[in-house]
A and B are shown apart, each in its own frame.
Chain A
Amino acid sequence: MTEAYIYDAVRTPRGKGKASGALYQCTPVALASTVLRAIQQRTRLDTGLVDDVVLGCVEATGEQGGDIARSAVLHAGYAETVAGVTVSRFCASGLEACNVAAGKVISGEADLAIAGGVESMSRVPMGSSGGALFADPSVAFPAHIVPQGISADLLATRRGYSRNHLDCYALQSQLRAANAWRCGHFRKSIVPVVDRNGETILDRDELVRPNTTMEDLSRLEPAFALMGEKSGYDSTAIQRYPEVEAIRHLHHAGNSSGIADGAAAVLIGNREAGEKLGLKPRARFRAFASIGSEPCIMLTGPAPATRKALKKAGMEAGDVGLFEMNEAFAAVVLCFMEEISVNHDRVNVNGGAIAMGHPLGATGAILLGTLLDEMERRDVETGLATLCVGGGMGTATLIERV
């Protein structure tokens, strides 16, 4: 069977996903183009050899509409023979893009592909593209759909996590991210965003707050209490989970993923394509999977998706050396670690989205690249990346160093 290999992975630093963020001045297509050009430059790639570019992008509307992947391909000056396609699986889009590209290679459709993602949450805010999932009563009502923060608080309530527990996790993310930056763990893959004159616009993750303390976190007000109470969301969630007496609102801006801008790309190909380029494969796709899970609580998808991928590979969680589990909300990761029985010392070891931000469509690809870098740094053989997804889904990718 044909294997799909990762040859390279890059990402832009993440900017704050608001008007005051450093990347607010960059169009999304420019961000996407940045990582595509970086791949080409680093590998001295003849872009004509790339069959397809698959980019994740959640709010695919306005500036991010009209198949931004193809626009990025043109913007990056790739050969016009390179196709482009945009995919959305909400927060997992970037990882889904990687899985889709790997699938194209494994099936023989493509020899060489680039996967990744882009999201400018500052210019195309979350919710811009609407969606039947929450807006259409015929979908939202029967499925008890609530905003993700409510789902996170529901999850924390059911699992009995305390505010302190969540904040401790969040603090760890900040400290680990700060440490990773300080020690240059991301040096191999970060591609600064520069303007057309070569001036640097951003060269490091803007959101990290290295001096965060538990006290700082404890002072933050729960972000979802008011909407839970006033807009019927708490009741909607409890009606789906009637063993719950009341939802404890514990999540806030400090223990939830940051709103961010960013892009990432991963070069994926079969053995021959790599040889043709003179590139050494860094890892291969061992297994990948996506699943649907209960949409109201929404965020419990990663564990079943992980189990599905591991089963395909004939492996157990204990065999996996390193995990990147997207820090959508602190409770999500705590729940995942309990479900899969893995410790924090193997999970998100360089921090995560709580510290560095979650540019929706790009994060999945960011995680994969981060995972691979750290696997190489620690000489770990297998790693798994996974994300929870709106509407109740999970996507997981298991990679093995070569």
Chain B
Amino acid sequence: MNHYTVDDAGIAILGGLRWEEFAREAGAAIDDPRVRGAIVVASAGLATPLEPCDARDLGSLLRRIETSGKPFVAAIAGTVAGGGYEICLAGHYRIAADHPTTQIGLSDVKAGLMPGLGGTQRLPRLIGIGRALPLLLEGGKLGPRETKEAGLVDALAMGCDLLASARAWICAWILEQAGKTTAQPWDAKGFCIPGGTSAHLFFAASAMLRERTMGLYPAPVAILSSVYEGCQVDLDTGLKIEARYFIHVRGTPEARNQMRLARSRQELEGLAERPANVPAHEFSKIGVLGAGMMGSGIAYVCADAGLEVVLLDTTPENAERGRAAAMGIFDKRDQARLTQVQSRIHATDAYADLRGCDLVIEAVFEDRAIKAEVTRGTAAVTGDGIVFASNTSTLPITGLAEAWPRAENFIGMHFFSPVNKMPLIEIIRGKKTSDACLARAMDLAKKLRKTPIVVNDSRGFYTSRVFSTYVNEGLSMLLEGVAPALIENAGRLAGMPVGPLVLADEVSLDLMRHVREQARADLGADYRPNETDQALHLMIERCGRHGKKTRGGFYDYPEGARKRLWPELTTWFPVRANGPEVAELVVRFRYVQSLETVRCMEEGVVQDRRDADVGSVLGWGFCPALGGTIGHIETVGTDRFIAECERLEKAYGERFSTPGRLRAMAFAAR
């Protein structure tokens, strides 16, 4: 039974959302003598089948569509960025809705996969290799104007006219082409790829790919090879080549890791760990204390999500500055939106204005006294029945909660900078934080369209604690006499976004020192100095280097020129001859973070591996190809990981010791 309708002109409309439906209908339409042409309605639902045999079947169908002799037109609306767009490429004409929600591309690479339904073969043949490669390799999506300019679609139409335009094109085609059959340009004799197949293009593409991916992602390399090898032959042969690469990529650990991460992230965003039996909360007004960089960023995301915001600071000027900063993040070209959000942020220095807030977020200085003061000041106005959240990145929540009359309503909500871009919120339960309070914080995270992870209170929580082991390892290496350039490059080759030394400069050596001092004060006799303390002492006390903002730290930051390692660094941290191989440094960087994560889980700071993995990737850029800090252990294999830890512990010390939990996991797996 076919669900498509055929109108008087013989045009069928195929709107199957799932590929099996689509396959059935399209196949029938090709054979149906009533059907003279078809419109494929492409929208977000069409996804690429992952099973190779299913992909092969669908691939063959697409080939049948384009060689059927009947015109197929794709009518595109919404986000169509994977197999759905590949189906459109097999059509003979593409029309997209001229609306900002139209987003078109081939985003498989972002998931660690590659197009498997002809995208790497048809797109270059359609728009040329040079224009197709960035889209295929980066997986970006384009809006309506851009897709038309780039040639991904042939025409735009107003949303309501989409189907009518498609019909009109087919009717015109039927009239003018009576007797002729459709042929894709690439099936015509003497077809040449627009712009040709330049060897130099591929040469540069390989290098630029390595620059961008550090050689850690197999999917884009496979895409590049698929285009290179496939575009030198006919389409059918090219499709065979693509199919082989597709199967290869699907089987890589990187693809598995990235897909697992995407799934985990979706589950966390869907609040999989939200306490049950707590009714959902509708927010309307949020209080933000502190109009600095974090405060203004938080104000922005709240206003952007449709919430009223009260932005409070010590003076009206400070508050106003924060408000202006938040407003400045909005796109100035979107006047309609600007007017809409204009009135949402209320800048003030009066606590009284916090009355009526559903939830208040504190984002003032990392100082207990200041935080306690503003916390108490808020409670006096709002009462302790609302949730009070601290954006602290280092001060344990349980202690801060003492300033809030009802500790069960106090929680940590650690945002990341820049707040408008970073999706993660690290939600931290204090010792007394209730389920209801947690649920409410998670509800806010969802309202703000952020990705929440939930951790239990401890020093450094999860993200700051594990991330600091990366920097500490880099400083260890420096103290051991490893060349600074090697350390930095090793950090990036380990999959971290930047090297540990430049990171330290950006955080500022003074701030790092401050955090360590605070910990020393809090822990007293239990405080254990580490390599960070040693290196900071040398840099700050002996060299007078404080970080990026003041004269430089590990790097110099010359005006108008690229940063470079401080030339005198190796005088203070002499480089040992016969240094280590970069591979060893990479292992150290990755293992130290995974091990600290396992300890966090052992101590109950993190309870679900999804929080650990997603938190590591979104929080501090741990390499997604490894699947996160726990994913990394699985990728290596627990037994091999433990064996490596034993070697690393002997070579470098206790921080590489194997946690009991890991041994237990390995034992259980046998």
Is the pairing of A and B real? yes
- Contact for A137 among B212, B225, B564, B579, CB less than 8 A: B225
Which residues of B from 428 to 481 have beta carbons under 8 Å from A? Answer: none
Would A242 and B486 count as touching, CB distance under 8 A? yes
Give A395 to B45 CA distance when docked, in angstroms.
Answer: 60
- Contact for B221 among A141, A147, A244, CB less than 8 A: A141
Give A145 to B214 CA distance when docked, in angstroms.
Answer: 14
Would B565 and A235 count as touching, CB distance under 8 A? no
Give A245 to B225 CA distance when docked, in angstroms.
Answer: 30
A233: chain B residues at CB < 8 Å are: 204, 207
Would B199 and A245 count as touching, CB distance under 8 A? no
Q: A135-B199, A136-B202 are in contact. Are A246 and B564 (CB under 8 A)?
A: yes
A130 interface residue per 8 A CB criterion = yes
Instruction: Please tell me which stretch of B49-57, B257-265, B488-496 contacts chain A, meaning at least 4 of its Cβ atoms lie within 8 angstroms of it.
Output: B488-496
Give A235 to B209 CA distance when docked, in angstroms.
Answer: 10
- Contact for A242 among B209, B221, B229, B489, CB less than 8 A: B489
Would A135 and B228 count as touching, CB distance under 8 A? yes
B221 — nearest CB in chain A belongs to which residue? A141
A238: chain B residues at CB < 8 Å are: 489
Q: A235-B207, A239-B215, A242-B493 are in contact. Are A127 and B200 (CB under 8 A)?
A: yes
B264 to chain A, nearest CB (A): 29
Contact string against B for A residues 294-307, beta-carbon threshold 8 Å, 1 for contact and 0 otherwise: 00000000000000
Would A239 and B224 count as touching, CB distance under 8 A? no
- Contact for A146 among B200, B207, B485, CB less than 8 A: B207
B119 to chain A, nearest CB (A): 17
A239: chain B residues at CB < 8 Å are: 210, 214-215, 489, 493
A236 to chain B, nearest CB (A): 5
Q: A136-B228, A138-B225, A239-B215 are in contact. Are A246 and B562 (CB under 8 A)?
A: yes
Which of B203, B215, B489, B562 has the most A CB atoms < 10 Å from its CB?
B203
Which of A136, A235, A236, A242 has the most B CB atoms < 10 Å from its CB?
A242
Contact string against B for A residues 143-170, beta-carbon threshold 8 Å, 1 for contact and 0 otherwise: 0111100000000000000000000000
A41 interface residue per 8 A CB criterion = no
Would A243 and B486 count as touching, CB distance under 8 A? yes
A134: chain B residues at CB < 8 Å are: 199, 202-203, 206
Q: A135-B228, A232-B211, A242-B582 are in contact. Are A141 and B206 (CB under 8 A)?
A: yes
Would B489 and A140 count as touching, CB distance under 8 A? no
Give A146 to B485 CA distance when docked, in angstroms.
Answer: 21
Give A13 to B565 CA distance when docked, in angstroms.
Answer: 48
Where chain B touches its partner, the secondary structure class is helix
Contact string against B for A residues 239-275, beta-carbon threshold 8 Å, 1 for contact and 0 otherwise: 1001111100000000000000000000000000000
Q: A239-B215, A243-B485, A245-B565 are in contact. Are A232 and B199 (CB under 8 A)?
A: no
A133 to chain B, nearest CB (A): 9
Would B202 and A144 count as touching, CB distance under 8 A? no
B278 interface residue per 8 A CB criterion = no
B511 interface residue per 8 A CB criterion = no
A239 to chain B, nearest CB (A): 6
A243 — nearest CB in chain B belongs to which residue? B486
Give A140 to B212 CA distance when docked, in angstroms.
Answer: 15
B564: chain A residues at CB < 8 Å are: 245-246
B212: chain A residues at CB < 8 Å are: 232
Give A233 to B206 CA distance when docked, in angstroms.
Answer: 9
How large, as a class, is the contact surface on chain B? 20 to 34
B559 to chain A, nearest CB (A): 18
A130: chain B residues at CB < 8 Å are: 199
B562 — nearest CB in chain A belongs to which residue? A246
Would A235 and B211 count as touching, CB distance under 8 A? yes
Which residues of A from 189 to 243 have beta carbons under 8 Å from B? Answer: 227, 231-233, 235-236, 238-239, 242-243
A314 interface residue per 8 A CB criterion = no
Where chain A touches its partner, the secondary structure class is loop
Would A137 and B208 count as touching, CB distance under 8 A? no
A318 interface residue per 8 A CB criterion = no
A131 interface residue per 8 A CB criterion = yes
Would A140 and B206 count as touching, CB distance under 8 A? yes
A135: chain B residues at CB < 8 Å are: 199-200, 202-203, 228
B205 interface residue per 8 A CB criterion = yes
Would A245 and B210 count as touching, CB distance under 8 A? no
Give A313 to B493 CA distance when docked, in angstroms.
Answer: 43
B483 interface residue per 8 A CB criterion = yes
Would A236 and B211 count as touching, CB distance under 8 A? yes
Would B200 and A137 count as touching, CB distance under 8 A? no
B205: chain A residues at CB < 8 Å are: 137
Would A232 and B207 count as touching, CB distance under 8 A? yes
B483: chain A residues at CB < 8 Å are: 243
Would B199 and A145 count as touching, CB distance under 8 A? no
B206: chain A residues at CB < 8 Å are: 134, 137, 140-141, 145, 236
- Contact for B210 among A131, A136, A138, A235, CB less than 8 A: A235
A243: chain B residues at CB < 8 Å are: 483, 485-486, 489, 579
Would B224 and A137 count as touching, CB distance under 8 A? yes
Give A147 to B224 CA distance when docked, in angstroms.
Answer: 19
A140: chain B residues at CB < 8 Å are: 202-203, 206-207
Would B210 and A141 count as touching, CB distance under 8 A? yes
B247 to chain A, nearest CB (A): 16
B224: chain A residues at CB < 8 Å are: 137, 141
B214 — nearest CB in chain A belongs to which residue? A239
Contact string against B for A residues 340-351, beta-carbon threshold 8 Å, 1 for contact and 0 otherwise: 000000000000
A138 — nearest CB in chain B belongs to which residue? B225
Which of A127, A140, A147, A236 has the most B CB atoms < 10 Å from its CB?
A140
A141: chain B residues at CB < 8 Å are: 206, 209-210, 215, 221, 224
Which of B221, B225, B489, B582 has the most A CB atoms < 10 Å from its CB?
B489
Give A167 to B582 CA distance when docked, in angstroms.
Answer: 33
B503 to chain A, nearest CB (A): 16
B207: chain A residues at CB < 8 Å are: 140, 145-146, 231-233, 235-236
B490 — nearest CB in chain A belongs to which residue? A242
B490: chain A residues at CB < 8 Å are: 242
Which residues of B from 200 to 252 have beta carbons under 8 Å from A? Answer: 200, 202-212, 214-215, 221, 224-225, 228-229
Give A232 to B202 CA distance when docked, in angstroms.
Answer: 12
Give A246 to B484 CA distance when docked, in angstroms.
Answer: 12
A127: chain B residues at CB < 8 Å are: 199-200
Would A232 and B209 count as touching, CB distance under 8 A? yes
A144: chain B residues at CB < 8 Å are: 210
Would A232 and B204 count as touching, CB distance under 8 A? yes
B215: chain A residues at CB < 8 Å are: 141, 239
A99 to chain B, nearest CB (A): 29
Give A242 to B199 CA distance when docked, in angstroms.
Answer: 27
B489: chain A residues at CB < 8 Å are: 238-239, 242-244
Give A232 to B209 CA distance when docked, in angstroms.
Answer: 8
Which of B199, B206, B493 has the most A CB atoms < 10 Å from its CB?
B206
Would B488 and A245 count as touching, CB distance under 8 A? yes
Give A67 to B564 CA distance when docked, in angstroms.
Answer: 51
Give A238 to B203 CA distance when docked, in angstroms.
Answer: 17
Contact string against A for B residues 99-121, beta-carbon threshold 8 Å, 1 for contact and 0 otherwise: 00000000000000000000000
A236: chain B residues at CB < 8 Å are: 206-207, 210-211
Which residues of B from 26 to 78 have beta carbons under 8 Å from A? Answer: none
B209: chain A residues at CB < 8 Å are: 137, 141, 232
Would A137 and B221 count as touching, CB distance under 8 A? yes
13 extra interchain contacts, Cβ-Cβ under 8 A, other than A131-B199, A141-B221, A243-B483?
Answer: A134-B199, A137-B209, A138-B221, A140-B207, A144-B210, A235-B207, A242-B489, A242-B490, A242-B582, A243-B485, A243-B486, A244-B485, A245-B564
Can you show 23 pairs from A to B with CB atoms below 8 A apart? A127-B199, A135-B199, A137-B224, A138-B221, A138-B225, A140-B206, A141-B209, A145-B207, A231-B207, A232-B207, A232-B210, A232-B212, A233-B207, A235-B211, A236-B207, A236-B210, A239-B210, A239-B214, A242-B582, A243-B485, A243-B486, A245-B564, A245-B565
Top 4 closest A-B pairs, CB basis?
A242-B489, A232-B211, A232-B207, A232-B208
Interface residues of A (CB under 8 A from B): 127, 130-131, 134-138, 140-141, 144-147, 227, 231-233, 235-236, 238-239, 242-246
